[in-house]
Amino acid sequence: MSGQLLRERFMVRFVGMSKYTRTAAWLVVGGYLAQALAGAVLGNYLLSLPLAWWSVLLMVLTALFIGTRLRGLNNIVHECTHSSFAERREDNVTIGRFCSAVLTGCFKQYKADHLSHHAHLGDYAHDAEMAAIEKLRLHDPLTPRTILRHIMTPLLGRHLKMYSGVNLSGEDGRLFFGMKVGLLVAIFAFAIVNPWTALFFVILPLFYIFPTLNFWTDCLDHAGLVGKEDELEASRNVLAPAPVRLLFFPRNDCFHLVHHLFPQVPARHLHVAHEELCKDPEYRSQPTASYPTHKSLSELLPVPFVSGKRVDT
């Protein structure tokens, strides 16, 4: 069965899934910002403690946590691109621009690139998102050597040119352009006043950890599958335990196959959609959708990072 046939079969069942009200949407955004700020405050406190192995470990984990919260904001930008985050279309635009500005990006450019990704998945000539990272070779078949290369790529910084940077185009409007400039000035000023906290808990999470998480997530979503013609084979779900999802896959972005099949489904309901789809034996049998938990590591290599079909709720 093709992805198109599956979409036609289930489309009606997923119509009308609830989105956030304006107030709730901004509270979710504020929650991620508050968590990132709390992480920076904790990091600043840890720097004041005597240097020891446990304090260094806590600092590393804190910086990583901040990066995951920034990724949560990025996932909200993604949802706003599909107008699936807030009930009102204009709120999706405003929130998308706001979160993009926090991440020093551009909502208008992201939306154009991402919609091309959905329209031409894996086609380097037309998929702007995948074309930008073609040199990282996510199209290579997955082997132990390829997986090791994907793990090492961020550790060597080879992804930074494609995943990190500041967009000062101003395409989102003067307000958000000014917000980005103000944020960069604030980071610079903070670095003068408190250089170590700025470096380890602002600059490092924003310009290295967050981009690294984005690259590794792209690998989980599409590595070894780029170029597949059918949508059922071109992306995969990553069915990690709930605590792992909350930390490393905020906003349910681990259900990437479900999202590509049904981009109109709000992220908060992707796990529900997956459970419903699993009732279909043809979907359930797809390696990219679900994988029996009893498989050995060697058997998992063709489609790594995918676990069992059940999802914690």
pLDDT digits (tens, 9 = 90+) for 9-19: 999 999 999 99
Q: Is the pLDDT score of 158 beyond 70?
A: yes
Pick from 39, 106, 98: nearest CA to 69 = 39
| Torsion, Cα of 122, 128, 134, 138 (10° steps) | -40
* 267 within a domain of the structure (yes/no): yes
Residue 284: the pLDDT is 87
* 305 within a domain of the structure (yes/no): no
Confidence label for 182 from pLDDT (cuts 50, 70 and 90): very high
86 φ, ψ (degrees, to nearest 5)? -110, 160
Confidence label for 47 from pLDDT (cuts 50, 70 and 90): very high
Residue 300: the pLDDT is 40
Cα 308 to Cα 292: distance, rounded to the nearest angstrom: 5
Domain of residue 200, residue span = 3-300
Per the structure block, which two tokens stand in for 76? 């909200």
Q: Is the pLDDT score of 46 beyond 80?
A: yes
DSSP state of 170: -
Q: How many structural domains is the chain composed of? A: 1
* 99 within a domain of the structure (yes/no): yes
Q: Is the pLDDT score of 63 beyond 60?
A: yes
Confidence label for 87 from pLDDT (cuts 50, 70 and 90): very high
What's the average model confidence in pLDDT over 212-226? 96
288 neighbors 220 (Cβ within 8 angstroms): no
Per the structure block, which two tokens stand in for 307? 């676990």
Averaged pLDDT score across all residues of the chain: 91
* 309 within a domain of the structure (yes/no): no
Burial class of residue 198 (count of CB atoms within 10 Å of its CB; 0-12, 13-18, 19+): buried
The larger pLDDT score, comparing residue 98 to residue 293, is at 98
Confidence label for 294 from pLDDT (cuts 50, 70 and 90): very low
Confidence label for 1 from pLDDT (cuts 50, 70 and 90): low
* 105 within a domain of the structure (yes/no): yes
List CB contacts of 128: < 8 A, sequence separation 6 or more: 112, 113, 116, 117
* 311 within a domain of the structure (yes/no): no
What's the average model confidence in pLDDT over 242-269? 94
Count of residues making up the chain = 313
Q: Is the pLDDT score of 3 beyond 90?
A: no
- One-letter amino acid at 9 equals R
Q: Is the pLDDT score of 286 beyond 70?
A: yes
Helix, strand, coil percentages, rounded to 5, for the chain: 65, 0, 35
* 95 within a domain of the structure (yes/no): yes
Q: Is the pLDDT score of 287 beyond 90?
A: no
Cα 154 to Cα 171: distance, rounded to the nearest angstrom: 29
* 91 within a domain of the structure (yes/no): yes
